[in-house]
Structure 1
Amino acid sequence: MGYLSRRHFLASTAAAGMLGAVPSLLISGQPALAMPTTTIRVGTRVIEVNGRPATVFGLTQPDGSHGLITEAKKSFRVRLENQLDEETLIHWHGLTPPWQQDGVPDLSQAPLGPGQAYDYDFPLNLPGTNWMHSHHGLQEQRLMAAPLIVRDPAEAGADIQDIVVLFHDFTFRDPDEILAELKGPSVPTGGMDHSAMGHGAAAMSTGPHLQDVVYDAFLANDRTLDDPEVFRVERGGRLRLRLINGATATNFWLDLGQLDGRLIAVDGMPVEPVTGRHFEFAIAQRLDIVLELPQSEGAWPVFAVQEGERSRTGFILATPSGAVQRLAGEAPDAVDPIGLALERRLRAAQSLAPREPDRRHAVTITEAPGYVWMLNGASHGDHAPLDVRAGERVEITFEDRTTMAHPMHLHGHHFQVVAINGERFAGAIRDTVLVPSRGNVTIAFEANNPGKWALHCHHLYHMASGMMTTLEYSS
């Protein structure tokens, strides 16, 4: 896919240094170096999936690099150019820009028309594994997404190899056709249980279910396990996997196979390390996992397995002489649904300061016939914004009364998970949390970024069917 490598990043940084001095910004009391403007072009590209060509979207720099790698304490200076024949707009998922630069059509910005461009410029306060994706219509389903990695300058020169992988669920079908089918008159409350029936056939859903869209393939950096990406690594090397679940409607289990990993960050935010080989991985979430490889030659596959199923994708870590073997596109056995077992174990490396909330909001998640998904009884457009004031500590409790789990994402802020089903704890700081069917999750955050912010389910078809509200600051 042409993702930026560390070598490319260092070379481009050195080249930027030869362009002359750039005015600095003040970030958290520290002078921040402003980068020259990077151009990201929204266009199309052709990939191969299951032996067939597929035209998908791309977010590429002029040199072909897909996405962006930069550093914290610099400014995010990006010129977004729309080279499509349709409108678009890109959201910088995980960043906390001024709200007018958040990339949500008709909330923070107007969509970019064909041939139009927009210049973004705001400080990058925090390092982390983030991503960029369309927030316009169903474009994200056609792979309008890319990594957005903000490295920590304090880690420059560290003896560790960065590996960035973006996962997708892929369909050859028109996403608008899929959504129309989900909304069709034969669809019962909760949509279709396609895991059993397939498109066009309805199955009554009286209990929790996992999928409502059937996919042709699952991708890791645009590739299936028929032709996986092979990352060459050193014997005994240290790796940092920066993994992004860019799927539109699929939760995964991340399977490290024979390797033991240390999970050190979620959604770009550090956590107390958790060691394991299997990690729950909800839509829009990110996992940073450190690996210490054996001293021997070898090849180690890493899989993302669709929850409740056997279908999987992945990539391979291989030493120069490591023998790469063909991998099956299905796991030997179906995996469990993902839940909140990992979430309950996570602890933020630095929690919010102890403080009683100044404001509490309750957000109920409900569904209605015709594939209608609602927050607090209303679809987006008919919603009542959640009111906050600058300086407040805010808690939001999500209560899911539906047949599916929902990955809830708050723009413009990082929040701490502070309760699951009423049980309080100081959990991870992140920007997307899975709310289980018939369960509830409470988050807390500092209202420190005034504006109008989207709050929504990151399952694309749920959001497109009404499951979005806003958080708005009042004076």
Structure 2
Amino acid sequence: MNLLRRVLMAGGTALPLSIWSAARQPAKAATEPTVIRATSRTLDIDGRAATVLGLLRPDGGHGLVQQPGERFRVRLENRLPERTIIHWHGQTPPFAQDGVPDTPLPLIAAGADRAFDFVPNAGTHWMHAHVPDQEMRLLAAPHIVRSAEDARADRQEVVMMLHDYSFTPLGEILARLGAGGGAPHAAAGNPHGGMSPAAAPHGGMPMGAADINDIDFDAYLANDRTLGDPEVVRVERGGRVLLRVINGAAATVFWIDTGRLEASVVAVDGHPVDPLRTTRFALAMGQRADLLLELPGEGGTFPILALREGARERTGIILATPNAPVARIAPEAESAAPGFDGRQELRLHSASPVPARRADRNLAVTLNGGMTPYVWSIDDRPWGRHRVLEARRGERVELTMTNVSMMAHPMHIHGTVFQVVGWGSQRFVGARRDTVQVPPMERVTLAFEFATPGRWMFHCHHMPHLATGMMTEFVVAG
């Protein structure tokens, strides 16, 4: 059946529906920076207009696709009426270009711009505001850095970026959830909190051990669309598709369900893994996965769905060969998706593991918090009263995180790429990542090295948890 078409608006101008394409972008002079603009735009979310934010190029494209060997030369222009700053998630730039407020550079003033120039890491990455309320207003976009292998491969590349969205202000939501007691969310202008759109509390009641989601959102989006009007991507019969999935949600874990197509997971967080065959793969907030799909010669229509963990809501895109009919898909499944205990991590193994080496420094932290009051922290000390973690450039660090709370936490470290090397008491050669999900009452160990001195943030990528204090920092000496 025919699907309703939405119009994406930015500054009153309709954007092309191909803004999520991972196809080659126009070539530019070697010294000419790419302009990315932090701006506002309007989405039609199931018939309701939503004013959101975005990171757009002058041609209307969303985010950035880079070719092999291309430097990251970007001029970020702030077209918003408020200050902002963008973190290049998955990249390890010089410390001053990491994109965290006042660490060391201040937020970018309205109408101002800032230049960035560094060698990027290849893979599926993304860019987002390091201000929770702005990220929840969708100030985020894909950042795809193609490798030489990508350029040689005979396959189509498709990006699917996931979001959760609500029309309710973050400050109101945190108040309903009972945030307070010194948590840093309430002060307008606080670079790690603030008063802007977010969501509604899950059930309005204190959370018990069986709860998974603490927030219910108004919409779940794939490439800015709900299943009321999903993006339809035309693909070739018998072709191969590299599906790059980015979970840019604020507080939602998604199961990626490839339906009739068995997928090979070939990379996570931009780093190759030994191929893992599956039809269902979970992604926590901030994580990415590259899925290699092979389409049957007879063609057809192939929904790629993102199922909300522990709930019935879903979103997604549709892959369809030429002339294949596209039917409407209900926005809710008949039954709830299962919870994600994170144990799929044990099945992931890096295709290029870090060299085995004894740790020079062993660190341990606890992940703390709860619903009453709604305050989340590391080592029982929220940001502002946090315990600084120390390291030196080039030394091997092993960090053990013990989650003593009843919620999972996707933990992200800036300035390095880590390898998962321990799950509970089990040691293994896991995936290389920048974000890992730590389930309730579980212990996860990471191994990594910092190549650059600086103050590198370490935090939960659940935005309301971050906004109430779940962040600390590594101070890395040279």
Normalising to structure 1: TM-score of the pair?
A: 0.90
Partner residue, 2:81: 85
- Are 2:19 and 1:3 equivalent residues in the alignment? yes
Conserved? CA contact 1:365–1:402, under 8 Å: yes
The alpha-carbon distance between structure 1 residues 314 and 464, as it changes in their structure 2 partners (threshold 3 A), is: same
Equivalent residues of 2:123, 2:146 under 8 A apart? yes
Q: Counterparts of 2:458 and 2:23 in 1: how far apart (Å)?
A: 37
Conserved in 2, the CA contact under 8 Å of 1:210 and 1:404?
Answer: yes
Query: Identity percentage over the alignment?
Result: 47
Q: Secondary structure at the match of 2:216?
A: coil
Relative to structure 2, which stretch is displaced further, 439-448 or 200-209? 200-209
Q: Deviations over 1:422-468 (max 9, x none)?
A: 21000000100000001110000122222110000000000010000
Distance 1:424 1:380, change over 3 A: same
Give the number of aligned pairs.
Answer: 443
The answer for the alignment partner of 2:458 in structure 1 is: 455
Counterpart CA distance in 1 for 2:381 and 2:251 is: 22
Name the residue aligned to 1:148: 143
Quote the residue 2:134 is aligned against. 139
Stretch deviating more after TM superposition (136-145 or 222-231): 136-145
Aligned residues of 2:207 and 2:214 also touching (Cα < 8 A): no
2:195 aligned partner: none
Q: Summarize deviations over 1:85-127 as a string: whole Å, max 9, x none.
A: 1111000000110011000001232101111110001112x31
Instruction: Report the equivalent of 1:193.
Output: none
Question: What letter is aligned with 2:236?
Answer: E
Amino acid at match of 1:60: L
Q: Secondary structure at the match of 1:274?
A: strand
Q: 1:180 aligned to 2:196?
A: no
| Aligned residue number for residue 301 of structure 2 | 299
- Is it true that 1:431 corresponds to 2:427 in the alignment? no
Match of 1:226 in 2: 228
2:277 aligned partner, one-letter code: T
* Alpha carbons 1:4, 1:69 under 8 Å: kept: no
Aligned residue type for 2:88 = W
In the alignment, what sits opposite 1:119?
Answer: 115
Pick from 290, 293, 302 the counterpart of residue 292 of structure 2.
290
Letter in 1 for 2:108: L
Q: State how 1:165-314 maps to structure 2 within 5 Å.
A: 165-183=160-178, 199=201, 202-314=204-316
Counterpart-to-counterpart distance in 1, 2:290 and 2:180:
43
The question of whether the paired residues in 2 share the 8 Å contact of 1:417 and 1:427 is answered with: yes
Structure 1 CA distance for aligned equivalents of residues 178 and 111 of structure 2: 33
- Aligned to 1:342, the other structure's residue is in SS state helix
**Residue identity in the other structure for 2:242:** R
Distance (Å, rounded) in 2 between the aligned partners of 1:8 and 1:386: 41
Q: Which shifted more, 277-286 or 201-210?
A: 201-210
Deviation at 1:154, TM superposition (A): 4.0
Which amino acid letter does the alignment assign opposite residue 142 of structure 1?
A: R
Letter of the 2:78 partner, please give it. N
Contact 1:208–1:437 (CA under 8 A) maintained in structure 2: no
Q: 1:180 is paired with a residue of what secondary structure?
A: helix
1:338 equivalenced with 2:333 (yes/no): no
Residue 377 of structure 2 is aligned with which of 374, 385, 408? 374
- Partners of 2:473 and 2:380 lie apart in 1 by 14
Equivalent residue for 2:184? none
Mark the runs of 5 or more structure 2 residues left unpaired by the alignment: 1-16, 182-199
Range with greater deviation from structure 2 (131-140 or 257-266): 131-140
Is 1:225–1:329's contact at 8 Å kept on the other side of the alignment? Answer: yes
Unaligned runs of 5+ in 1: 23-34, 187-197
Tell me the TM-score normalised to structure 2 length. Answer: 0.90
Deviation at 1:203, TM superposition (A): 2.1
Contact 2:24 2:65 in 1 (8 A): no
Output the CA distance in 2 between the equivalents of 1:148 and 1:184: 33
> In 1, Cα distance between the equivalents of 2:215 and 2:67?
37
User: 1:411 Cα deviation (Å)?
Assistant: 0.6
State which drifts further: 279-288 or 445-454. Answer: 445-454
- 1:4 deviates by 5.4
Letter in 1 for 2:103: L
The equivalent residue for 1:163 is: 158
Q: Which amino acid counterpart does residue 434 of structure 2 have in structure 1?
A: D
**In structure 2, do the counterparts of structure 1 residues 201 and 8 end up closer, same or farther at CA, with 3 Å as the change threshold?**
closer
What secondary structure is seen at the aligned counterpart in 1 of 2:71?
Answer: strand
1:418 paired to 2:421: yes
Alpha-carbon distance in 1 for matches of 2:70, 2:24: 18
Q: Are 1:42 and 2:38 an aligned pair?
A: yes
Counterpart secondary structure, 1:253: strand
- Contact 1:416-1:429 within 8 A present in 2 as well: yes
Equivalent AA in structure 1 for residue 379 of structure 2: N
Q: Residue by residue, what CA displacement relative to the aligned partner does 1:121-162 show, whole Å, maximum 9, x if unpaired?
A: 1112x3100000000241111111100000013432421000
- Displacement of 1:7: 4.6
1:6 Cα deviation after fit: 4.9
CA RMSD of aligned residues (A): 1.6
- Are the aligned partners of 2:313 and 2:332 in contact in 1 as well (CA < 8 Å)? yes
Q: Which amino acid aligns with 1:166?
A: M
Contact 2:86 2:99 in 1 (8 A): yes
Q: For 1:71, which of 47, 67, 70 is the aligned residue?
A: 67
CA distance in 2, matches of 1:109, 1:267: 26
